[in-house]
Amino acid sequence: MRRPHEPAPLALATPAPPGAEVRPAIAHVGVVPARRPARPWGLLALSAGVAVVLVAPLVFLLIEAHGAGTSTILHLVFRSLTASLLWNTVRLTLVVTVLCAVIGTAAAWFVERTDLPGRPVWAVLVVVPLAIPDFVVSFGWASLSTWVQGFRGAVLVMTLAVYPLVYLPVAASLRNADPGQEEVARSLGAGRLATFWRITIGQARTAILGGCLLVALVLLAEYGAFEILSYQTFTTEIFTEFNVSFNIPTAAALSLVLVLLSFVVLAGEGLARGRGRVSRSGPLAQRVAPRRRLGRWTPAVLIGFTVLVGLALGVPVGASIYWILESGHGYLTGVSLLDSAWHTALYSATAAALATMMALPVALLAVRHRGRAYQLLERSTYLVLAIPGLVIAFALAYFSERYANGFLYQSAPLLVLAYAILFFPLALVGVRASLAQAPPGLEEIARSLGRRRLAVLWRVTLPLVAPGLAAAFSLVFLSAVTELTATLILIPTGVQTLATQFWAYQQNLAYGQAAPFALAIIAIAALPSFLLGRFFDRLPARTAAAT
């Protein structure tokens, strides 16, 4: 069989056009230069298509900004409002990120490395807040006390809502770290504390930084929680400009600054990560690190965990239940609850499937085919991380309205596409981690046993990465269910999802009617969270840390 890009034998007779490869002519003499490995054209085309879709919102944004005129944009950017937004956004991001790093790492260390009583239960309870949307946490607190407002409210609420993003990768990394390294450090004369700082934290560093990166990006993109707490950031301002005042140039200008901030965060994480590699010598040891005895500290740590879970989980859930009971009669929201739950599930599942399918070719290309171009292509898809959901929604909406005659504007496909773009990096992480673990030798053997490429993909590769595909699906599904900002902008007319209906009631201060929707979101999001916990449990540290 010839490969498609090999010159056909017939072509040898005709003189090669200028600039064409001269290989065929030489081949006749029998001196063939070293062949390049076959290029995976199909995968390349698919991945390039995915990359184009992903980068599209950024391009749209630039087009919008360009349309508004450079001087207008500059004028809008350099004014006192921008400075105050910048100050609000940056100080909140810094404080919450540091708090999350401390709480997440400490919780992970206690669960993974000490004899804390009830560890399996804590391991679940500590992660569950991930299933509670930030705006629900915010609602829970703000509806109970007026003290929770502004900066202090935002710090409290966001820390409680997003610290699991640090906990998860750090716990996976601690669990899989080579305990031998700590033992060697002790035997080389390092004390307990020194060993903890230099080895334990060192091993978990990549994971901690990865978690902090996610926290910072979430904070930059958050809208609902801050709106409830009356805390003004770039995102809330952009939302107001776009959705309320229809002031497109201002929204575009502020979006540019926000995207720039995200790039700064991404670059900062890259620099902090440095060249250090967390590796273990030899194969993954079956040996588990010995657990530190807490002894007389046990009660204090237990109280700490109880308080953490109580604040992060108990307050939002408790507040929702309280408001349902408080309203007493209940507005018989049954029908609209079911209807919006159906739409939430439908859009989220479709987006999850789409994002997972988009991630597969990119991951295959990056993991199975070595080459700078392929890696660059994969990297380019991570650009999406720096684009907040609001900006993606805003870019897609504006573009479809302005340049596509409103085609697809406020339609289900556009919302699903926005979700898929927004959460693509999450899908890629899941698929990639699984694929990196599946030995490529298996695919070669399958081929030498007489199976064609597609059959091998179907019968060997896909079953091997199935857990990763499931994880990718769950991750995107979970994120889409709890998404509010982009949904508010792109939701099809006349349709409500759980999040938008909750938001509508909440805006009207109808807490009793909003609360059942909050609980429904938590219930739908809980299952994927649980599955994800299982997936990350089994993943070796180096792949988990790559999040």
Least distance from other proteins to the Cβ atom of residue 353, Å? 22
What's the min distance (Å) between Cβ of 186 and other proteins? 31
Which of 59, 260, 376, 442 touches other proteins (CB under 8 A)?
442
Residues 1, 188, 193, 300: which binds other proteins (CB under 8 A)? 1
Query: Measured from the CB atom, is 75 or 453 closer to other proteins?
Result: 453
Phi and psi torsions of 114, nearest 5°: -125, 175
Cβ-based nearer residue to other proteins, 38 or 404: 38
CB 173 within 8 Å of CB 277: no
30 lies in the site for other proteins, by CB under 8 A: yes
Q: Could you tell me the smallest distance in angstroms from the CB atom of residue 370 to other proteins?
A: 11
> 34 or 300, CB closer to other proteins?
34
Which residues fall within 8 angstroms of residue 539, CB to CB, at 6 or more apart?
Answer: 172, 176, 433, 437
- Identify which of residues 99 and 436 has a Cβ nearer to other proteins in the complex: 436
Residues 178, 173: Cα–Cα separation, whole Å: 10
Residue 507 CA to residue 519 CA, distance in Å, equals: 17
Q: How many CB atoms lie within 10 A of CB 65?
A: 21
Of the candidate residues 10, 13, 34, 271, the single one contacting other proteins (CB under 8 A):
34
Q: Should residue 43 be labelled a site residue for other proteins when binding is judged by CB under 8 A?
A: no
Strand, helix or coil at 462?
helix
Judged by CB under 8 A, how many residues of this single chain contact other proteins? Answer: 30
Note whether 115 binds other proteins by CB under 8 A: no
Whether 223 contacts 239, CB under 8 Å: yes
Least Å distance, CB 519 to other proteins, is 38
Query: What 3-state DSSP class applies to 406?
Result: coil
Cα–Cα distance, 163 to 167 (Å, whole number)? 6
Q: Binding other proteins by CB under 8 A: which of 179, 451, 457, 504?
A: 451
Quick one: 152 or 452, whose CB is closer to other proteins? 452
According to the binding rule CB under 8 A, does residue 329 interact with other proteins?
Answer: no
Please say which residue, 38 or 523, places its beta carbon nearer to other proteins.
38
Query: Taking contact as CB under 8 A, which single stretch among the options 28-36, 55-63, 340-348, 422-430 is the one that binds other proteins?
Result: 28-36
Nearer to other proteins, 36 or 275 (CB): 36
459 binds other proteins (CB under 8 A): yes
C-beta closer to other proteins: residue 273 or 369: 369
Alpha-carbon distance 279 to 545, whole Å?
11
- Based on the shown chain and the rule CB under 8 A, indicate whether residue 3 belongs to the binding site for other proteins: yes
- Residues 156, 161, 162: CA angle, nearest 5 degrees: 110
The answer to whether residue 303 forms part of the interface with other proteins (CB under 8 A) is no
Q: 10 vs 271, which CB is nearer to other proteins?
A: 10
Q: Which of 446, 481, 522, 525 binds other proteins (CB under 8 A)?
A: 446
C-alpha–C-alpha distance, residues 120 and 140, integer Å: 27
CB of 35 to other proteins, least distance (A): 5
What is the per-residue DSSP string for 453-482?
Answer: HHHHIIIIIHHHHHHHHHHHHHHHHHHHHT
Contacting other proteins (CB under 8 A), which of 463, 507, 508, 523? 463
d(CA 515, CA 408): 32
Report the residue number, 27 or 201, with the smaller CB distance to other proteins.
27
Q: Does 364 bind other proteins (CB under 8 A)?
A: no
Q: Cβ 449 to other proteins, closest distance in Å? A: 3
CA-CA-CA-CA dihedral for 242, 247, 248, 251, to nearest 10: -60
**Residues in contact with 462: Cβ distance below 8 Å, sequence separation at least 6, in sequence order:** 469
Residue 29 binds other proteins, judged by CB under 8 A: no
* Residues 6 or more apart whose Cβ sits within 8 Å of residue 100: 159, 162, 163, 165, 166, 211, 212, 215
33 interacts with other proteins by CB under 8 A: yes
Write the binding mask 5 to 24 for other proteins: x where contact by CB under 8 A, - elsewhere. ----x---------------
Count of CB atoms within 10 A of residue 471's CB?
A: 27
> Judged by CB under 8 A, does residue 244 bind other proteins?
no
Indicate the residue among 325 and 442 with the shorter CB distance to other proteins. 442
| Number of residues in the chain | 547
Helix 80-113 vs helix 164-176: crossing angle, to nearest 10: 40
Residue type for position 411: S
Q: Whole-number minimum distance, CB 217 to other proteins, in Å?
A: 35
- Dihedral-angle region of residue 491 (phi above 0 means left; psi in -120 to 50 means alpha; beta otherwise): beta
Q: What are the structure tokens assigned to 323, written together?
A: 């408001």
Q: How far apart are the first and last CA of the chain?
A: 40
Is residue 188 within 8 A of residue 95, CB to CB? The reply is no
Residue 494, Ramachandran bin (φ over 0: left; ψ between -120 and 50: alpha; else beta): left
DSSP code at position 75:
H
- Interface with other proteins, residue 369, by CB under 8 A: no
Residue 292, helix vs strand vs coil: strand
Asked if 538 interacts with other proteins (CB under 8 A), we say no
Q: Does 27 bind other proteins (CB under 8 A)?
A: yes
370 touching other proteins, by CB under 8 A: no
- Of the candidates 35, 296, 329, 372, which one interacts with other proteins according to CB under 8 A? 35
Asked if 483 and 468 count as a contact pair (C-beta separation under 8 A), the reply is no
| Position 445 contacts other proteins (CB under 8 A) | yes
**Residue 325 near other proteins by CB under 8 A:** no
Residue numbers at the binding site for other proteins (CB under 8 A): 1-3, 9, 27, 30-35, 37-38, 439, 441-442, 444-452, 459-460, 463-464, 466
